[in-house]
Amino acid sequence: MVGAYRIIVKSKRLQYDFEIRRQITIISGDSAKGKTQLVDMIRAYNNYGTDSGVEVQCNKECIVIEGKNWKSQLDHVTNSIIFIDEGNRFVQQTEFAEQIKYSDNYYVIITREKLSNLPYSINEIYGIRESKRYGVTTQTYNEIYNLYGKANGPMVENPKCVITEDTNSGFQFFEEVGKQFGYTCKSAKGKSNVKKFITPNYKEKTLIIVDGAAFGPEMNEVMAKLKRYDNFYLYTPESFEWLLLKSKIIRSPQNISLDKILAEPENYVDTIRWFSWERYFTYLLTQMTIGMGELKYSKSELASGYKKKTVITKILNSMEKIDFNHEK
Q: Where are the beta strands (DSSP E) in 165-231?
A: 184-187, 206-209
Local structure of residue 251 (DSSP, 8 states): P
Pick the last residue of a domain from 100, 122, 146.
146
Query: What does the pLDDT look like over 201-256, one tens digit per residue?
Result: 888 999 999 999 999 999 999 999 999 999 999 999 999 999 999 999 988 877 77
State the total domains in the chain.
2
Domain assignment of residue 151, yes or no = no
Based on the domain organization, do 164 and 309 belong to the same domain?
yes
Whole-structure pTM value: 0.92
Based on the domain organization, do 129 and 202 belong to the same domain?
no
Separation between Cα atoms, residue 241 and residue 131, nearest integer Å:
38
Separation between Cα atoms, residue 294 and residue 290, nearest integer Å:
10
Domain with 242 in it = 156-323
Q: What is the pLDDT of residue 136?
A: 47
Separation between Cα atoms, residue 284 and residue 96, nearest integer Å:
27
How many residues make up the chain in this entry? Answer: 328
Query: What does the pLDDT look like over 297-324, one tens digit per residue?
Result: 999 999 999 999 999 999 999 998 898 8
Based on the domain organization, do 205 and 287 belong to the same domain?
yes
Q: What is the pLDDT of residue 147?
A: 86
Q: What is the pLDDT of residue 297?
A: 96
Domain assignment of residue 328, yes or no = no
Q: Specify the CATH number for the domain of residue 264.
A: 3.40.50
Mean pLDDT, all residues of the chain: 91
Based on the domain organization, do 66 and 199 belong to the same domain?
no
pLDDT band, residue 129 (cuts 50/70/90): confident
Based on the domain organization, do 125 and 213 belong to the same domain?
no
Question: What is the share, in percent, of the chain residues with pLDDT greater than 90?
Answer: 79
Based on the domain organization, do 244 and 311 belong to the same domain?
yes
Domain assignment of residue 163, yes or no = yes
Question: What is the share, in percent, of the chain residues with pLDDT greater than 70?
Answer: 94
Dmax (CA) for the chain in angstroms is 67
Separation between Cα atoms, residue 84 and residue 97, nearest integer Å:
14
Based on the domain organization, do 56 and 142 belong to the same domain?
yes
Residue 149 above 70 pLDDT? no
Domain assignment of residue 114, yes or no = yes
Pick the last residue of a domain from 116, 146, 176.
146
Query: What does the pLDDT look like over 55-71, one tens digit per residue?
Result: 999 999 999 999 999 99
Residue 152 above 90 pLDDT? no
